[in-house]
Chains A and B, each alone.
Chain A
Amino acid sequence: MEQTSLATGHEGTMRDQISSYFNRVRGGEMGALPAIAGLVTLSILFAFASPSFLTPLNFANLFVQAAELTILASALVFVLLLAEIDLSAGVTAGVAMAIFYVLSHGGMNWILALLIGFAFGAFTGFTLGFFVARIGVPSFVVTLGFYLGFQGLQVVILHAGGQLRVEIPAIQAIMNESLPAINGWIFLIVSVIFTTILGLWDRSRRARAGLTNRPIGLLILKIGSMIVIGSGVISVLNMNRSQSDIKIIAGVPIVIPITVVVLAIGTFFLDRTRFGRHLYAVGGNAEAARRAGIKVARVRITAFIITSTLACLSGLLHVSRLGGVEATAGRQIVLSGVAAAVVGGVSLFGGRGRLANAAIGALVIAIIENGLGLLEFPAGVNLLVTGAVLTLAATIDALSRKRSGAGTVRA
């Protein structure tokens, strides 16, 4: 194979790789680092402040609380990457679940009813995308309109305030039941094998093309930390967290593998497919993308469809946790979803961010809520702190954008 003399960033020892990583961070590509730092700091603070923070029960609660937000924030990443926003994602999910409730209570097969709810979500996304991409209405305004309108639609469909029970065991199980201990381990093993195969496959393709590979140590490091962190999490989750002596509650909550799989599929889609690449390109420079032959409007519409549809999944998790539907679902959480994505390091200016960022951001927001709740602060404090963290994150975003030069106009 022909060798090229141009570097590809894969050359050098572990040490070179690590130092070039730190250089990128210093250059403004901080990614999820501030959020991870925040996560660690908050965990330590709360661990000292509250004896109930570091308990298996709270640990499980934290993940379950974060799951709903993680899925919603991940959904929002698709439009945030285009520097657009979807304020209606939460209530779209609310309407979808209301439709599901009414249909399944009217005697329809619940799976079919659920699919119709999701189809409604997809159609809403298409409509939003159409307004934004073809007609040119700013997404902030269209989705604000839908945000208001769909709050009304939820009331119209459900005719009621308060909660309406959903008595479907499979749906209730998602947020309330756990896997048998052994299945948690199997899930980790499968994930590790999958990651290893993907990593080795990438390396072999580069090798076949005659390109240098990063030191294998990096892959080992990645898989090693996955095993260590994963085992830690699963060990704790497999402990008995029941507060009564009669019943044992242990195991990985079912929602966790579901969330991980959604994140993995979404990440694969964004990183490794043409659509994903085009999404980043349109978010970075729509005119450049258009001249390169990318169908910009189609990319935008697809992004809105994905956001709305995935938001419905987060709505389903909400129904599962609550055990029912409510006419006010989705009003509050959408703002936390945007906050989670931004706190995790997704840029509001478009073109920068990954699903992992949304997940980490969601954990930060969930930990604030959880920790302050345990310390029995009044509800207002939680909002104050979350707001401050969001402002801080948006500031970091703007500053790092400046530093990396992406914000400067060039002639």
Chain B
Amino acid sequence: MTDPVIELRGVAKSFGPVDVLKDVDFKAYGGRVTGLLGDNGAGKSTLIKGLAGVQPFDGGEIRFDGEIVQIHTPRQASNLGIEVVYQDLALCENLDIVQNMFLGREETSRGTLSEATMELQAAKALQSLSVRTVKSVRQKVSSLSGGQRQTVAIARSVLRKAKLVILDEPTAALGVAQTEQVLKLVRRLADSGVAVIIISHNLADVFSVCDDISVLYLGHMVADVATKDTTHTEVVEFITGARTAGAEA
């Protein structure tokens, strides 16, 4: 296998006396979808926030494309090419798709917005993900369905040429058809060479889209397996703590 895009070694994070992440190792590869699983409070969101620079880790090593890097602010993360699609999506409903995709990074020439350039790039990004469900790229986000919004949020990371895209429960609020669409989108994103990390409580989704599965249990990384080498039952045991990595052998 190729080298991982992101690699965490011995990462730790505590809030006061509470150790939320303990000596965590983690990898995600370009072109692959890695599922990050764990029960409520296992530390998934904390791990993601560390990678996003929102809540830096206390200790441990982060390697990005093999190089040791520091991620202390959201800027540093996004400069490296790490994009996070949060569960609440963080879109402005009063703005259209193009405006949302370029939010905070608007293209300008001579101080005025380059609408045509942005529109074209946004349309291309959506197309590269074979998105066909949106009627127009100038539709207001308020008029989009949950799945379409998720699509816009994901396409935004494509536009930013992300190398690592992290999705926090992207299908939690979606119906069957829209879940299907978003999972396909996630697959296409990975196929384009991006490393994708997806947090989900839905094992069916995880098994349908992920190449690798990592499981956190009370802040410990207890499993790091390829999807094809494991089963639903085994993963459930990891999540509930009934089985640990040591017991695997």
Residues of A within 8 A of B (CB): 2, 4-10, 27, 29, 202, 205-206, 208-211, 272-274, 277-278, 280-281, 283-285, 287-289, 291-294, 351-352, 404-406, 410-411
Q: Which residue from chain B places its CB closest to the CB of A401 in the assembled complex?
A: B142
- Contact present for A6 and B123 (CB under 8 Å): yes
> Of A205, A210, A293, A351, which is within 8 A of B105 by CB?
A293
Complex Cα spacing A271 to B237, Å? 55
- Contact present for B75 and A406 (CB under 8 Å): no
Q: Mind listing 25 A-B residue pairs with CB under 8 Å?
A: A2-B124, A4-B124, A6-B132, A9-B138, A202-B116, A206-B116, A209-B117, A209-B120, A211-B116, A211-B119, A272-B113, A273-B111, A280-B94, A280-B99, A283-B94, A284-B94, A287-B90, A288-B92, A289-B104, A292-B103, A293-B78, A351-B92, A352-B94, A404-B142, A405-B143
> Of A2, A8, A278, A289, which is within 8 A of B138 by CB?
A8
Closest approach, in angstroms, between the C-beta of A279 and any C-beta of chain B? 11
Closest approach, in angstroms, between the C-beta of A250 and any C-beta of chain B? 38
- Contact present for B104 and A8 (CB under 8 Å): no
B146 within 8 A of A: yes
- Contact present for B137 and A292 (CB under 8 Å): no
Closest approach, in angstroms, between the C-beta of A281 and any C-beta of chain B? 5
- Contact present for A291 and B74 (CB under 8 Å): yes
Closest approach, in angstroms, between the C-beta of B66 and any C-beta of chain A? 27
- Contact present for A288 and B127 (CB under 8 Å): no
B191 within 8 A of A: no
- Contact present for B93 and A406 (CB under 8 Å): yes
Q: A29: which B residues are within 8 A, CB to CB? A: 140
- Contact present for B94 and A4 (CB under 8 Å): no
**Contact residues, B167-185 vs A (CB, 8 A):** 172-173
20 additional A-B residue pairs with CB within 8 Å, beyond A202-B115, A273-B108, A293-B75: A6-B123, A6-B134, A6-B136, A7-B137, A202-B116, A205-B115, A209-B116, A209-B117, A277-B106, A280-B99, A281-B92, A281-B95, A281-B99, A288-B90, A289-B103, A293-B105, A294-B103, A351-B94, A406-B94, A406-B142
CB-based closest 7 A-B pairs:
A292-B104, A284-B92, A351-B94, A284-B94, A288-B90, A9-B138, A293-B104
Closest approach, in angstroms, between the C-beta of B56 and any C-beta of chain A? 16
Q: B123: which A residues are within 8 A, CB to CB? A: 4, 6, 8
Closest approach, in angstroms, between the C-beta of A319 and any C-beta of chain B? 33
Closest approach, in angstroms, between the C-beta of B130 and any C-beta of chain A? 10
Complex Cα spacing A211 to B124, Å? 12
Majority DSSP secondary structure for residues of A touching B: loop
- Contact present for B135 and A7 (CB under 8 Å): yes
- Contact present for B127 and A210 (CB under 8 Å): no
Q: B127: which A residues are within 8 A, CB to CB? A: 4-6
Task: Give the total of B residues in contact with A, Cβ under 8 Å.
Answer: 46
Q: A351: which B residues are within 8 A, CB to CB? A: 92-94
- Contact present for B92 and A280 (CB under 8 Å): yes
Complex Cα spacing A376 to B188, Å? 71
* Also in contact, A7 and B136, with CB within 8 A (given A27-B143, A293-B75): yes
Closest approach, in angstroms, between the C-beta of A19 and any C-beta of chain B? 14
Complex Cα spacing A208 to B93, Å? 29
B159 within 8 A of A: no
Complex Cα spacing A253 to B137, Å? 43
* Also in contact, A8 and B137, with CB within 8 A (given A292-B103, A351-B94, A404-B142): yes
Complex Cα spacing A351 to B92, Å? 9
Q: B88: which A residues are within 8 A, CB to CB? A: 287
Q: A404: which B residues are within 8 A, CB to CB? A: 140, 142-143
> Of B86, B113, B139, which is within 8 A of A9 by CB?
B139
- Contact present for B93 and A285 (CB under 8 Å): yes
Closest approach, in angstroms, between the C-beta of B149 and any C-beta of chain A? 8
- Contact present for B112 and A272 (CB under 8 Å): yes
Closest approach, in angstroms, between the C-beta of B98 and any C-beta of chain A? 8
Complex Cα spacing A284 to B172, Å? 24
Q: B113: which A residues are within 8 A, CB to CB? A: 272-274, 277
**Contact residues, B131-159 vs A (CB, 8 A):** 131-132, 134-140, 142-143, 146, 149
Closest approach, in angstroms, between the C-beta of A1 and any C-beta of chain B? 9
Q: Which residue from chain A places its CB closest to the CB of B117 in the assembled complex?
A: A209
Q: A284: which B residues are within 8 A, CB to CB? A: 92-95
B126 within 8 A of A: yes
Complex Cα spacing A29 to B131, Å? 26
Complex Cα spacing A103 to B220, Å? 71
- Contact present for B92 and A6 (CB under 8 Å): no
Complex Cα spacing A287 to B75, Å? 16
- Contact present for B108 and A274 (CB under 8 Å): yes
